[in-house]
Structure 1
Amino acid sequence: MIPRFTDHAANERTYLAWVRTAITVMAFGFLLERFDIFLSYASRAGGQPISNLHTRASEWLGLMLLLFGALIVLFATFRFYRNRKLISSDETFAYGGRLFERLMAAALIAMALFLIVYVAHQIMALS
């Protein structure tokens, strides 16, 4: 039997949840990077191409989300192995590692605010 199996299993489930989150963030980044195709199609379908659409912003934000997803996997892997080592240890440790979660939350909030402003601007340009 594996000592502290439930703790190791919880650590692995948490790691897999981070990986799923990273895949979702990267998929959204890819979709957003290709958002300019939708915008140009929608503007042409509306009767006239609109020249003031800022599609470069969606491309850059999509690329940032792709990189952010890769960083999530990297940091989640480091955290998984650190927690695995701490679980196997007989010593008692204080729970730590909240900085990464706070930085990710702040980055996602900043990206969400940018998306709100960006999409609102694009909708106004299409109107």
Structure 2
Amino acid sequence: MKADPLRTAHGGFTDKTGVCRDFAHLAIALCRCMNIPARYCTGYLGYLGYLGCLGDIGVPADPNPMDFSAWFQVYLGGHWHTVDARHNKPRIGRILMATGRDATDVALSTAFGPTTLARFEVITKETQQG
């Protein structure tokens, strides 16, 4: 499915289709309806074997670079907890770039008219939790 910048959480709910951003928006809307604080997250998911990245929920090795991704976090028990609305499995190799109320707050790029991305490089260093 192709990302649609005009898609709403309601559209994802009624169609039962969407991209990671759509499912994150829907899950955030449902959490907020139940007074559970939720925020949108954007970043990357690594793939097994690419530049030594950790695997992503056991998917086969992929020779392509990492991809942008969206997920969300909920605030429960005094801590933010990461949730991915697309899978019923924990995800690993996640690189968080930004959090916000929704995708508009944390757009990785904003442009008007046709553009060409000539180069984009991400360098990460693993840190200890705590």
Query: How does the TM-score come out when normalised to structure 1?
Result: 0.25
- Give the structure with the higher percent strand: 2
Which protein has the larger Cα radius of gyration, Structure 1 or Structure 2? 1
- Give the structure with the higher percent helix: 1
Q: Tell which has more relative contact order, 1 or 2 (C-alpha 8 A, sep 6+).
A: 1
